[in-house]
Amino acid sequence: MYDIDATHDPELKSWVASANETGAEFPIQNLPFGRFRPAGSNGGWRIGVAIGDQVLDLRVAGVIDTDDMNALMAAKPEERQALRRRISEGLREGSGDKAAWSEALLAQAQCEFTVPCKVGDYTDFYTGIHHATTIGKLFRPDQPLMPNYKWVPIGYHGRASSIVVSGQDFKRPKGQTKAPDAAEPSYGPCKRLDYELELAFYVGAGNALGEPVPMAEAESHLFGVGLINDWSARDIQAWEYQPLGPFLSKNFASTVSPWIVTMEALAPFRSAFTRAEGDPQPLPYLDSPGNRERGQLDITVEVLLQTAKMREAGTAPHRLTKGSVAEAAYWTAAQLVAHHTVNGCNLQPGDLLGSGTLSGPTPDACGSLIELTLGGKQSIELPNGEKRTFLEDGDTLILRGWCERDGAVRIGFGEARGTVRE
* Cα–Cα nearest to 15, from 91, 88, 86: 91
Are 339 and 148 in contact by the 8 Å Cβ rule? The answer is no
Which residues, 6 or more positions from 57, have their beta carbon under 8 angstroms from its beta carbon?
46, 47, 48, 104, 105, 106
Extents of the domains making up the chain: 6-114, 122-421
Supply the DSSP symbol for 191. Answer: S
Q: What's the chain's Rg over C-alpha atoms?
A: 21
- Full strand arrangement of the beta sheet holding 411-421: 169-171, 411-421, 396-403, 300-306, 318-324
Residues 6+ apart with CB under 8 A from 284: none
pLDDT of residue 416: 98
Q: Which residues are catalytic?
A: 131
The residues that bridge with 402 in the sheet, in sequence order, are: 300, 412
Contacts of 205 (CB under 8 A, 6+ apart): 73, 74, 75, 76, 77, 220, 221, 349
Distance CA 167, CA 102 (A): 27
Cβ–Cβ < 8 Å for 193, 249: no
- Strand 254-256 to 163-165 pairing: parallel
Overall size of the chain counted in residues: 422
For position 97, what pLDDT does the model report? Answer: 98
3-class DSSP assignment, residue 274? coil
* pLDDT at residue 140, as a whole number: 85
255 close to 303: Cβ distance less than 8 angstroms: no
| Helices (runs of H) and strands (runs of E) counted in the chain | 11, 26
For residues 301 and 197, is the Cβ–Cβ distance under 8 A?
A: yes
State the DSSP string of 381-399: EPTTS-EESS--TT-EEEE
CA atoms within 13 A on the CB side of 410: 13
By three-state DSSP, how is residue 216 classified?
helix
Examine residue 38 and say whether the peptide bond preceding it is cis (omega within 30 degrees of 0).
no
* CATH class of the domain whose range is 6-114: mainly beta
Query: In the CATH hierarchy, which fold is given to the domain comprising 122-421?
Result: Fumarylacetoacetate hydrolase; domain 2 (3.90.850)
Q: Tens-digit pLDDT profile for the chain (422 aa)? A: 789 999 999 999 999 999 999 999 999 999 999 999 999 999 999 999 999 999 999 999 999 999 999 999 999 999 999 999 999 999 999 999 999 999 999 999 999 999 999 999 999 999 999 999 999 988 888 888 999 999 999 999 999 999 999 999 999 999 999 999 999 999 999 999 999 999 999 999 999 999 999 999 999 999 999 999 999 999 999 999 889 889 999 999 999 999 999 999 999 999 999 999 999 999 999 999 999 999 999 999 999 999 999 999 999 999 999 999 999 999 999 999 999 999 999 999 999 999 999 999 999 999 999 999 999 999 999 999 999 999 999 999 999 999 999 999 999 999 999 999 99
